[in-house]
Structure 1
Amino acid sequence: MNKKLVALAATCMASLPCVANAADVQLYGLIDTTIRFSTNENAAGDNKVQMTDGALTGSRWGLRGTEDLGGNLKAWYILESGFAPDTGTSLQGGRLFGRMSVLGLDGDFGKVAFGRQFTLAHEMIGSYDAMGIPNNGIVGYQAAYTGVRYDNTVKYIKSFGGLQLAAAYTFGEVPGSFSTNNAAGGSVAYSSGPFEVGAVYQVSHNVSSAYFGLPSSQASKQTVWAAGGKYKVGRGQYFLGYTNNRLDVADYRNDSAYVGAKYELAPSLVLIGQFYYDWLKHAGTGGKRLTTAAMLDYNFSKRTDAYIEVDYTNLKGGWIALNSMPTFTNSGNTFGNSTRLGVMLGLRHKF
């Protein structure tokens, strides 16, 4: 009997590291589903009613965890998969972990991350957008300027009090050429109390289908820089930003200014508003874009909320042709029409 107890105790002790490691793994995600009405959803100008993904956030599930390596050093990872809540299909081209696939180290030296991850331009521009570059493609069109996510990327972040510096490099992985398909960027942000400002600069080479559906013959160097800030006072938080985007061979130049706000009407009710104005220059022609959106979000709890969102876009000149390209920002395509009005009713749950 004693031998059996000893054997059982030894088995339990041997299993403890496995239990501890398992405890470091966290399953998380969110499901954000909406019913959307929108105008001008084909070349004939017909309206459309559909069930679709969230207004602000894309649905996803993921795994993340850390391991303490001692000496104030930790290993960490994030594996995150996007999916369409209305059909259950995988997004990001059907990738298993298309949203993020990152392994990193965090210590006194800063934080370093390796893998598929958001670009510095996307993170910085989203920080000064009241809607965080929304998931709704017609409003979140600036995602096309940022590259959103890059594969094969190493990113480094270091904070010095309220100052944060970051750098990122994406390997092109083309034999015989170090620069083909690569990208590099840097950002700086400073925060003090309720106030924050920041800026980013990013260069990507041989950009084609990833940007506005350009053919390979127009593969271009894309240069993006942006600056912005946000300020929190009382129940409100206010946002201001500017993005400068350039493509050399394809000859696109965009200047975008945006302003927004979040205001807590009640402890469980938040109003969000965002306004974008974009100037386009392409092949000797110009175009202008006005996009605005407002959202009223009611929180039933910390995990579940419901919202109504309204957005309106008006295009002029070259922006009509650009926004009608078959691959332009997916759901943001206006099919040759100059306007779109949309209304969304959504329900979101985090787990």
Structure 2
Amino acid sequence: MRRKLSILFATGSAMTMPVLAHASVTLYGLLDNTIRYTTNENAAGNSKVQMGDGVLTGSRWGMHGTEDLGSNTKALFVIESGFAPDTGVSQQGGRLFGRKAYVGLQGEFGTVTLGRQFTVIHEVIASYDAMALASLGIVGFQGGPYTGGVRQDNMIKYTRAFGGLTFAAQHAFGETAGSFAKSSSTGASLSYAAGPFLAAGGYQSMRDTNTYYGVKVPTSNQNVWSLGSTYNTGPATLYLGYTNSNVDAADYRNHAVYSGVKYVFMPAWSLIAMGTFDRLKHGSTTGNRFTGALMLDYVFSKRTDVYVEADYTTLSGAWRTLGGQTDFATPMFGHGSRFGATAGLRHKF
């Protein structure tokens, strides 16, 4: 349950009487802890049992608030901190508010926000991914480095809905003296919802990146575009998507196709099944990656649920080489496959 605080802010000056404005601030959070078993966790092929963050969602706490400015206009802010539930340490490189930190205005003109935020390409892909780009990296690998970053600093974002049509655009400043474009990122997305059907797509260009999945690469521009859709048939929702990622000077090109289904077969029970096939080309080499995942969830209440999950990944060719890197997001230590099984408990407040 989210805790709401009503706060009166007094403003004024020596020349005027104080003016009171009403604002609403909400404290919220989520803890999602798991026990996970995986194979091929070192060069010898040994398995590992560990505790970690959630499959679908990362643990976090935060605050968001709004202030009514009149004329159908509101000021808003969000600050959100990610942390590892097994150790309590901060995520996102140890940042205090590494998940989100932005302020904005919302009105009939749309919503404008400034600060550290999710990229528009990440948000649009998540809308037609059955696991919404899972927090578990090996399952949600087509997010993150694949798209040039889940979140970006120094971002201005604009969103506006026109009936069933929603448009979003962003620019993250590179903040480099002498060049407006250097190290910056620009993107846009468009989605259309009508009844049970959603269709969406987006594009993003991230300039002057020098890593790909944690591997050092020549300084490159990374361009990503994606299309996808969902269809709800009552208890089942079907998902289908395609994403193309091109890291030009580093010569990495990926084509990923992913599909899935979420089926609510009883009020408290739901099942998610998904699969992603990725074709990688790097120089003269090519390789394939397939990841499939299955998750069964039981909801105790609006705040608490438990789940079990299983996933399998197989790599070949250039993907196996990339997966063998020691700083790869989910290192495979030269092995061509990995099986994982997870049990988790999630609680929201």
TM over 0.5: yes
Closer, same or farther: CA 319–72 of 1 in aligned 2, 3 Å: same
Closer, same or farther: CA 80–316 of 1 in aligned 2, 3 Å: same
Task: Provide the residue aligned with 1:73 in structure 2.
Answer: 73
The answer on 1:64 being equivalent to 2:55 is no
The answer on 1:282 being equivalent to 2:273 is no
Closer, same or farther: CA 221–267 of 1 in aligned 2, 3 Å: same
> Could you tell me which of 335, 341, 344 is aligned with 2:342?
344
The answer on 1:207 being equivalent to 2:209 is yes
Task: Provide the residue aligned with 2:133 in structure 1.
Answer: 133
Displacement of 1:178 in angstroms is: 1.4
| Equivalence map 1:153-192=2 (5 Å) | 153-192=155-194
Displacement of 1:281 in angstroms is: 0.3
Closer, same or farther: CA 290–72 of 1 in aligned 2, 3 Å: same
In structure 1, how many angstroms separate the alpha carbons of the residues matched to 2:51 and 2:22? 37
Task: Provide the residue aligned with 2:306 in structure 1.
Answer: 306
In structure 1, how many angstroms separate the alpha carbons of the residues matched to 2:174 and 2:290? 35
Deviation per residue, 1:31-58 (Å, 9 max, x gap) = 0000000000111111000011101100
Task: Provide the residue aligned with 2:333 in structure 1.
Answer: 335
SS in 2 for 1:25: strand
In structure 1, how many angstroms separate the alpha carbons of the residues matched to 2:300 and 2:214? 40
Task: Provide the residue aligned with 2:124 in structure 1.
Answer: 124
Displacement of 1:119 in angstroms is: 0.5
Task: Provide the residue aligned with 1:7 in structure 2.
Answer: none
Contact 1:297–1:307 under 8 Å retained in 2: yes
SS in 1 for 2:146: helix
Displacement of 1:214 in angstroms is: 3.6
Displacement of 1:326 in angstroms is: 2.7
| Equivalence map 1:1-351=2 (5 Å) | 17-18=8-9, 24-143=24-143, 144-146=145-147, 147-209=149-211, 211-215=212-216, 218-329=218-329, 332-351=330-349
Displacement of 1:283 in angstroms is: 1.1
Contact 1:212–1:325 under 8 Å retained in 2: no
SS in 1 for 2:124: helix
The structure in which a higher percent of residues are helix is 1
SS in 1 for 2:37: strand
Displacement of 1:88 in angstroms is: 0.2
In structure 2, how many angstroms separate the alpha carbons of the residues matched to 1:221 and 1:177? 15
Contact 2:7–2:23 under 8 Å retained in 1: no
The structure in which a higher percent of residues are strand is 2
Which deviates further from its counterpart, 123-132 or 141-150? 141-150
Deviation per residue, 1:213-239 (Å, 9 max, x gap) = 243x61110000000000111100010
Contact 2:7–2:22 under 8 Å retained in 1: no
SS in 1 for 2:278: strand
In structure 2, how many angstroms separate the alpha carbons of the residues matched to 1:242 and 1:266? 30
In structure 1, how many angstroms separate the alpha carbons of the residues matched to 2:109 and 2:23? 26
Paired AA for residue 43 in structure 1: A
Closer, same or farther: CA 233–263 of 1 in aligned 2, 3 Å: same
Q: Structure 2: any 5+ residue segments left out of the alignment?
A: 1-5, 11-19
SS in 1 for 2:122: helix
State the Cα RMSD in Å: 1.5
Contact 2:22–2:67 under 8 Å retained in 1: no
Contact 2:8–2:23 under 8 Å retained in 1: no
Contact 1:138–1:333 under 8 Å retained in 2: no
In structure 1, how many angstroms separate the alpha carbons of the residues matched to 2:27 and 2:328? 33
In structure 2, how many angstroms separate the alpha carbons of the residues matched to 1:326 and 1:165? 39
In structure 2, how many angstroms separate the alpha carbons of the residues matched to 1:130 and 1:212? 22
In structure 2, how many angstroms separate the alpha carbons of the residues matched to 1:182 and 1:214? 20
Contact 1:181–1:205 under 8 Å retained in 2: yes
Paired AA for residue 157 in structure 1: T
Task: Decide which structure has the larger Cα Rg and report it.
Answer: 1
Percent of residue pairs identical:
53
In structure 2, how many angstroms separate the alpha carbons of the residues matched to 1:342 and 1:173? 41
Displacement of 1:21 in angstroms is: 7.1
Closer, same or farther: CA 16–321 of 1 in aligned 2, 3 Å: closer
TM-score by length of 2: 0.93
In structure 2, how many angstroms separate the alpha carbons of the residues matched to 1:17 and 1:30? 27
In structure 2, how many angstroms separate the alpha carbons of the residues matched to 1:230 and 1:347? 27
Displacement of 1:321 in angstroms is: 1.1
Displacement of 1:18 in angstroms is: 4.4
In structure 1, how many angstroms separate the alpha carbons of the residues matched to 2:21 and 2:153? 28
